[in-house]
Structure 1
């Protein structure tokens, strides 16, 4: 028997029930005659507090509240990929067919299509002992991803009966098992899992492999590990969303979960349209075949925005349990924090810095801590990598969301508005960004790319830092007073900025660059620097070196050398040698 109650008070998305209603903490409830979806967030002997995930306009005291006896949960089954959900996993396409372009209050739609049949290939037989996470069937969910139907994490037993290979809906029984207590349980393709509870794993691994994105400043200077966490803070127009698009399209993650949390409606529309049209560079099929979108725009109810991150995390952990590498794009955690602030204000909680609740840091840590490279219950390996965009007001990185996020992420890609306005993209400021994964990943780079990779990377960063120091002098008294060796540092740093750090998302070769080419580009730039430094030490002025246009030719490598032609770099070394010899002969 589920609990019942009546509305006593209403404060925006927060409603109160008087007395002990019999509900459980975090229980999902239906509020009012319109049966709006809500969640119990506070219980005392005097009152029950519920947050409602839909617009509460028109609710009146005295209307009924009905419990479901279960927490707010995500439905996990084939059909998640290619779908577009709102913050509480309601399918927007199905809702549009029922209510048109606007979401009606109290509308109820199954998260996944319960009538569509999926072809299941059974992987177990009668008499098998099944443990939590064991794969009982394989279903081709899309052309790119095979969905593995698993035993729920809280269940185990012996197989009593198995369905034949064939076509089934997500609710039809596939396997019957006998549990430890002797009772029987029927397994279908569907699982339910509470969104606020992390799915269990066997063990967690330290960072050891990079999430390769094809973006040079990320892969080379500030790498992110698979199972790692990264923040992309930046003001309006600095390219946070575009950066996430590039990573979603080109990274070597198997599955992308894109959470549009509190963003503008027109921006989310652009994401939906672009992702639907993009081709997956790995398979040639539409990118949506390995992508799920969660759209919770700024004009949607604020409580559902708070839940959307947990919904996306639960979907990601589910595919991780199958052995896939999943990347979550959360755009943006600032809007999520603003939802927390509004709900906290409605609950009359004591505000902390800038009005955010005192538990902001705790909630952020709970979100980012669910990332990781793990061994699943079934012995497979999978990972969840989280890339959260942060939108500080006015681009002020000292505000609470950015500062608290820095405490829990190990990779910080700070976007700079001056770089963005100068059309330098990605607009990641190399002087303020960092990655704590570099040491963990150095062994992987040495084994899989080149043993000099990290050394070359460090030399590039050193040159960029030297340029920053020299520019302080140049701003005061001009560049003419600098000695030629320092002028050369400025010139090589310009080559690094324009030829390596800057990247063109619309060029077929420059939009995504393999690590081998990234290494070769570093090698050529540093080879040019060594040769020029040798000439400077012999008394050659930088002005003479610039006459040969060799610096421009090296900058143009990013366009002139196709990604599948690393052999062409030998020709550039020869050009630099010829340049060196010609300068020597001309000034002998």
Structure 2
């Protein structure tokens, strides 16, 4: 068998090679004289089908396709953070320096800088027993993250030699390991890993810790666990990307991987520009020090869009193996599904619902299943949380991508067009959203925030549901005919919507709110509700209660109480008591 073949058919990004060429499934190949990068996606006895990650214009039947000898992989080593890659881990800054404003075809650049010297602390010495995942060296990759160089999967043995601490490139041999079979393996900082294969772990932990985002409607009403999965579906302009930006900046994940999959070029440019200017609130250093950006815009080759999701996921798993909590922002999985649909059409596969391939559900499940809180092979604990934006056409949540995604995620943050257009942000609607993590996280809330946290949250949710039912009546016959206790429900629901669910990303204290303040805000709102309900039960009219300013005062808590002064909430409880007393005295 040879390891090259001639093209006999071309259909957009899909090419066909005839003959017994010796290719393997998922192998990376080079197409034509320009060595365009491709991947083998189907094999017959005498033919191979290849998807090409670059524009195939100018490729002709008869051009040669040569194997690389390995699967489509990413390079794993120091230098990943603070970098911007395309869908197959090519650094865009180096491509720009080489080919200018536009990416030229066949561009050959190293994924990471192989000449840069990294200050390295070697953590093993001769005679040490090491196995897969064992940390052999530590490198300060950025001011925020220490890169832990690990023994790659499949290697286990005794250290024969280890270099002294110093400055080394990612390809320099740091350690040599003699395996049980006598083979001597040189280890450097650098690993290669196929993007479509999950990295090995010891076992998966059940959900037990929340991913704290600082966004009240997420942390309190619809929380996501570390290692959890969530989707953010919404129509155009409802705030999917902005919600992901807030989570990326304020969540307590150690590392953020933002995958711009098939988004508009101007939107991706804004992301790249803004992320480079953001400061990390945890360290005061640039947020890019713990961020990786993968940019694959809608005008880039569709096959690379399909691969970009797996590239980001593999990078996340690598840092998880070091013991870090990683959050992936995939924006958007709908564009990824559209890439699957286009490739499926080129391959003449039988279409399923709305033209998507029949394997759409299995691809989505395989993607989200790679999330989780794991015990790694080196004994550390790390997590990969996946938050995927979904862009249903016309905001229709019944379309296949949204419906199939709901099957595999446990957190659903449904964005509402009417909320977004009324300037209520985050525009996550409390009636269409849900989280299945609430029960799993209840012990954590009880231990770290308050025993009453979950019950308060459930009371808030019950009031909002009652408001929804009452609004159906109000739309028919107006609010004046409602009894006072139901009018109170509407008023308290308004306080919850404006004072708790709505959040201002441009306000210093309101952009990110700690869990303690979120609980205190709920507690004050419900305390006001209980006191007002007592007054209503004594036949006090709701019109008298609304003459007081207490409702507006409670709404403004989010601005008036600094995040670091929780003791101020006692003043608001006293203000509620004063309100109760004044109304009683006035109607005595």
Shorter-chain TM-score category?
over 0.9
Please name the residue that 2:299 is paired with. Answer: 299
Is the CA contact (8 Å cut-off) linking 1:2 and 1:68 kept in structure 2? no
The answer to whether structure 1 residue 577 and structure 2 residue 577 are counterparts is yes
CA distance in 1, matches of 2:543, 2:112: 67
Q: Deviations over 1:504-545 (max 9, x none)?
A: 000000000000000000000000000000000111111111
Indicate if the aligned counterparts of 2:5 and 2:19 stay in contact, CA closer than 8 A: no
Shift of 1:46: 2.8
In structure 2, what is the equivalent of residue 212 of structure 1? 212
**Residue deviations 1:280-325, cap 9 Å, x none?**
0000000000000000000000000000000000000000000000
Aligned to 2:13: 13
- Structure 1 residues 256-276: Cα deviation after superposition (integer angstroms, max 9, x where no partner): 000000000000000001100
Structure 2 partner of 1:381: 381
Residue of structure 2 equivalent to 1:506: 506
Say if 2:336 is the partner of 1:333: no
2:552: which partner in 1? 552
Pair 196,2 (structure 1): closer, same or farther in 2 beyond 3 Å? farther
SS, match of residue 405 in structure 2? helix
Task: Describe how 1:287-366 pairs up with structure 2 within 5 A.
Answer: 287-366=287-366
| 3-state SS of paired residue (2:326) | strand
Structure 1 ranges of 4+ moved more than 6 A: none
Cα contact 2:73–2:192 (8 A) shared by 1: yes
Deviations 1:527-569 (A, max 9, x none): 0000000000111111111111110000000000000000000
Superposed CA deviations along residues 15-67 of structure 1, whole A, max 9, x for unmatched, are 00112211000000000011000000000013100000000000000011000
Partner SS state of residue 10, structure 1: strand
Does the CA contact (< 8 Å) of 1:156 and 1:179 recur in 2? yes
Aligned 8 A contact 2:119 2:168 in 1: yes
C-alpha distance in structure 1 between counterparts of 2:100 and 2:558, whole Å: 47
Conservation of the 8 A alpha-carbon contact between 2:2 and 2:21? no
Say whether 1:405 aligns with 2:405: yes
Q: Output the TM-score relative to the length of structure 1.
A: 1.00
Alpha-carbon separation, structure 2, partners of 1:363 and 1:9: 27
Contact kept? 2:6, 2:17, Cα under 8 Å: yes
Name the structure 1 match of 2:424: 424
Aligned 8 A contact 2:156 2:179 in 1: yes
Where 1:439 maps in the other structure, the secondary structure is helix
CA contact (8 A) 1:249 1:280 kept: yes
SS in 2 for 1:576: helix
> 2:442 and 2:408 mapped to 1: Cα distance?
22
- After TM superposition, the structure 1 stretch with the greater mean CA deviation from structure 2, 179-188 or 76-85, is 179-188
Question: 1:125 aligns to what SS in structure 2?
Answer: coil
1:162-203 per-position Cα deviation (integer Å, ceiling 9, x unaligned) = 011000000011001101210111000000000000000001
Indicate the residue corresponding to 1:239 in structure 2. 239
Q: 2:324 and 2:308 mapped to 1: Cα distance?
A: 21
TM-score, normalising length: structure 2: 1.00
Distance 2:122 2:291 in 1: 25
User: Which residue in 1 is equivalent to 2:115?
Assistant: 115
Instruction: Work out the CA distance in 1 between the residues paired with 2:377 and 2:208.
Output: 20
The residue that corresponds to 2:449 in the other structure is 449
Rounded to whole Å, the distance in 2 between the matches of 1:323 and 1:180 is: 28
Q: Which residue of 1 aligns with 2:262?
A: 262
Shift of the alpha carbon at 1:412? Answer: 0.1
Give the superposition deviation at 1:470.
Answer: 0.1
Partner of 2:228: 228
Tell me the residue number matched to 1:458.
Answer: 458
Q: CA RMSD in A?
A: 0.6
Q: CA offsets per residue over residues 363-389 of structure 1, 9 Å max, x none?
A: 000000000000000000000000000
Give secondary structure in 2 for the equivalent of 1:75.
Answer: strand
How do 1:561-572 and structure 2 match up within 5 A? Answer: 561-572=561-572
Task: Report Cα offsets for 1:142-177 as digits up to 9, x if no partner.
Answer: 000000000002211110100110000000110011
Identify unmatched segments of 5+ residues in structure 2: none
Shift in alpha-carbon separation, 1:443–1:413, aligned structure 2, 3 A:
same
Within 5 Å, give how 1:92-241 maps onto structure 2. 92-241=92-241
Q: Report if the CA contact (8 A) 1:2-1:66 is conserved.
A: no
SS at the partner of 1:311?
A: helix
CA apart distance, 1:333: 0.0
Deviations 1:340-367, CA, capped at 9 Å, x for gaps? 0000000000000000000000000000
Task: Give, in whole Å, the separation in 2 of the partners of 1:34 and 1:437.
Answer: 50
Post-superposition CA distance 1:375-408 (Å, at most 9, x none)? 0000000000000000000000000000000000
Equivalent position of 1:86 in the other structure: 86
Q: Secondary structure at the match of 2:474?
A: helix
Q: Cα distance, 1:69 vs. partner?
A: 1.2
Q: Are the equivalent residues in 2 in contact too, given 1:261–1:297 (CA < 8 A)?
A: yes
CA distance in 2, matches of 1:181, 1:66: 33
CA distance, structure 1, for counterparts of residue 423 and residue 586 of structure 2: 38
Structure-2 separation of matches of 1:69 and 1:269: 35
Q: How does 1:428-443 map to 2 (within 5 A)?
A: 428-443=428-443
Q: Give how far 1:2 is off.
A: 7.0
Which 5+ residue runs of structure 1 have no aligned equivalent?
none
TM-aligned CA deviation for residue 444 of structure 1: 0.3
